[in-house]
Amino acid sequence: MFRGLFRLIFYAIVAYVIYRVFKFFENLGKSSQAPRSTSSPQLQGKMVKDEVCNTYLPQEEALQEIRDGKEYFFCSRECRQKFLEQKKTD
């Protein structure tokens, strides 16, 4: 009885090892064929708010303006220009 049980456990372990080896080589082939995306790198850092259109964008992409010691950020030249025109009238 125990001999049959040990044989069953042995075959189960061998089958599991074969399965893991197969999965390893399958994943190895997939990783070497995966396309590398270089079109848009992941941005990391702080998100800032555009003062005119109220959108959020990464600080490294934003246009910056310093007025009266305060930093303002903008998504485009147009938004920056609108802000500067509003400040002239204030």
Give the H or E element holding residue 7. helix 2-33
Q: pLDDT digits over 77-90, tens only?
A: 999 999 989 877 76
Please give the residue that has the higher pLDDT: either 25 or 89: 25
Q: pLDDT digits over 31-79, tens only?
A: 555 555 556 656 568 999 998 999 999 999 999 999 889 999 999 999 9
Dist. CA 64–CA 71, nearest whole Å: 7
pLDDT of 36 reads: 58
CA distances from 71 to 64, 68, 76, 90 (A): 7, 9, 15, 17
Please give the residue that has the higher pLDDT: either 16 or 33: 16
